[in-house]
Structure 1
Amino acid sequence: MAVDQLDTRILRLLLEQPRTSMREYARILGVARGTLQARVDRMERDGVITGVQPSLSPAALGHPVLAFVHIETTQGHLGDVGDELAGVPEIIEAYSTTGGGDLLARVAARDAEHLEDVIQQLNRLPGVVRTRTEVALRERVPHRLLPLVEAIGKAAGHARG
């Protein structure tokens, strides 16, 4: 779905001020509330906006160790292993990938021993051949979407001009 400059401005506000009301967003943007709501509804329908939930910190929840676990699976078992990963609460997210492994899981743990327990649990899953773990030392670029949204909006403006 293509977003235009107004969509970009809306997305920026949603990212920067997530607790603001639609009425206030409309006032800030200088558009009718109905226009704003129609735009937001369209972006939700098109999958641009995928949710409105708080951002939580695993570290503040007592899980400060962050690791990325590459998981190699036996041929034909990728889907089964992926389904099993959903049952491991310490896995924050997982993706099928190309390269050295079949899956990449982001794992939050209480400490090194807990991380080892989680990795051993993963290694025991049917269809898992081996794992390789990388522990994150320090976050260098936090999860962000605003620079991407702004670049898309800028490109939309240039395409019109």
Structure 2
Amino acid sequence: MAVDSLDTRILRLMIEQPRTSVREYARLLGVARGTLQARIDRLERAGVITGTGPRLSPSALGHPVLAFVHIEVTQGHLDEVGEALSAVPEIIEAFSITGGGDLLTRVVARDNGHLEDVIQQLIQLPGVVRTRTEMALRERVPHRLLPLVESVGRDASAAR
């Protein structure tokens, strides 16, 4: 979906000030509340805005260890293993991938021993052939979308 400059400004505000009301966003942007609400509704319908909940910190929840676990799966068992991963609370994301392995998971743990326990749990899942784990040392670029939103908005404006 193409976003224009107003969409970009709306998304920027929603990212930078997520707890602000629609009325206040409209005031800050200098647009009618109805216009703003219609834009937000359109962005939600298009799947650009997928949620408005809080971002949580696994570290603050007592899980400061972050690892990426590659999982190799027996052919034909990808869906089964994918479903089984959803039962492991320490897995906060999982993706089917190409390259070395079939699945890439983002795993959090209380400490290294806990991480080993989680990995042992993964190895025991039916259909899992092997795992490979990479530990995250330091976050260099936090999860972000604003630079992408601004780039898409610029590209859409330049195309007009």
Cross-structure match for 1:24: 24
Per the alignment, residue 94 of structure 1 pairs with: 94
Q: How does 1:55-134 map to 2 (within 5 A)?
A: 55-134=55-134
Q: How many residues align?
A: 160
> Which letter maps to 2:13?
L
Task: Give 1:102 shift.
Answer: 0.4
Give per-residue Cα distances to partners, 1:27-60, cap 9 Å, x unaligned: 1111110010001001111100000110110001
Cα offset for 1:159?
1.1
1:49 match: 49
**Residues in 1 aligned to 2:131 and 2:13: alpha-carbon distance in whole angstroms:** 40
SS in 1 for 2:143: coil
The answer for unaligned runs of 5 or more in structure 2 is none
CA distance in 1, matches of 2:31, 2:77: 51
Percent of aligned positions with the same letter in both sequences? 79
Corresponding residue number in structure 2 for 1:2: 2
SS at match of 2:66: strand
Q: Deviations over 1:46-89 (max 9, x none)?
A: 10000011011000110000000000000000011000000000
Moved over 2 A (4+): none
Distance 1:141 1:96 in 2: 23
Deviation at 1:152, TM superposition (A): 0.6
Following superposition, the deviation at residue 2 of structure 1 comes to 1.3
In structure 1, C-alpha distance between the alignment counterparts of 2:80 and 2:6, rounded to whole Å: 42
1: distance between equivalents of 2:77 and 2:5? 44
Kindly indicate whether the alpha-carbon contact (under 8 Å) linking 2:2 and 2:153 is maintained by their aligned counterparts in 1.
Answer: no
> Which residue in 1 is equivalent to 2:150?
150
Which residue type is aligned with residue 83 of structure 2? D
| Distance in 1 between residues matched to 2:134 and 2:6, nearest whole Å | 40
Partner AA of 2:89 in structure 1:
P
TM-score (norm 1): 0.98
Distance, in Å, in 2 between the alignment partners of 1:12 and 1:87 is 35
Over the aligned positions, Cα root-mean-square deviation in angstroms equals: 0.5
